[in-house]
Amino acid sequence: AQSVSQHNHHVILSEAASLELGCNYSYGGTVNLFWYVQYPGQHLQLLLKYFSGDPLVKGIKGFEAEFIKSKFSFNLRKPSVQWSDTAEYFCAVNGGGYNKLIFGAGTRLAVHP
Amino acid sequence: DVKVTQSSRYLVKRTGEKVFLECVQDMDHENMFWYRQDPGLGLRLIYFSYDVKMKEKGDIPEGYSVSREKKERFSLILESASTNQTSMYLCASTTSGSHEQYFGPGTRLTVT
């Protein structure tokens, strides 16, 4: 069965620190990979996505992610976080028909000024 | 911009009550989804619909049903609410050609 594993449930960083959130997936077919973000009190929104091509994808707000097929990974990175990046981050992979997604458990990021 | 709206942001119901959560999208999307979001468990799929009157069970359908009478509207029904259904409920939609889902603001349901 398809699954997504996010390694860290809670991450605490100071502003300007670098961020890397791990995501590993289990899926045998062609993967579409996503990172969604949920800021406090707001909708879940798309941060970035990978469908094909360049395995390094750039998203909004300076985030990027790298698809490493051999490691079944799609880690999220940002070189220098800001207090406004405080949010919960979810990794997702397409899971079967009807455009379903399988989500990871999420990582709560707290950035301290 | 795609807009997905949900009928309530916060809802408090009593055990045993029938609860209706409604979701409306304005982008003519074929697919609609209901998830529940719980701390440490991420988003779990309850039900989804790929067309009017068509529905499929997700990973955790027990205790829930759905209705899709119009393309833009997808309702989640808790036939007899229980305390373990206290959760955040998220609705999402997507076009049939894409996996990118658009989410509503969520309904935080408390069952007492």
- Top residue of A4, A89, A99, A108 to mutate, by most chain B CBs within 10 Å, is A99
The residue type found at A19 is L
Chain A residues within 8 A of B101 when measuring between CB atoms: 99, 101
- The token pair that represents A24 in the structure block: 């590993």
Whether residue A1 is predicted with pLDDT greater than 90 in this model: the reply is: no
- The token pair that represents A93 in the structure block: 């992979």
HEC secondary structure over chain B: CCCEEECCCEEEECCCCCEEEEEEECCCCCEEEEEEEECCCEEEEEEEEEECCEEEECCCCCCEEEEEEECCEEEEEECCCCHHHCEEEEEEEECCCCCCCEECCCEEEEEC
Confidence of residue A99 (pLDDT cuts 50, 70, 90): confident
Average pLDDT (B91-99) is: 88
> What local confidence, expressed as pLDDT, does residue B2 receive?
66
Chain A residues within 8 A of B56 when measuring between CB atoms: 98
The DSSP output letter for A72 is T
Q: Is B75 on the interface with A (CB under 8 A)?
A: no
Whether residue B96 is predicted with pLDDT greater than 90 in this model: the reply is: no
Contact B96/A94, CB-based, under 8 Å? no
Average pLDDT (B7-31) is: 96
Give tens-digit pLDDT for A71-95: 999 999 999 999 999 999 999 998 7
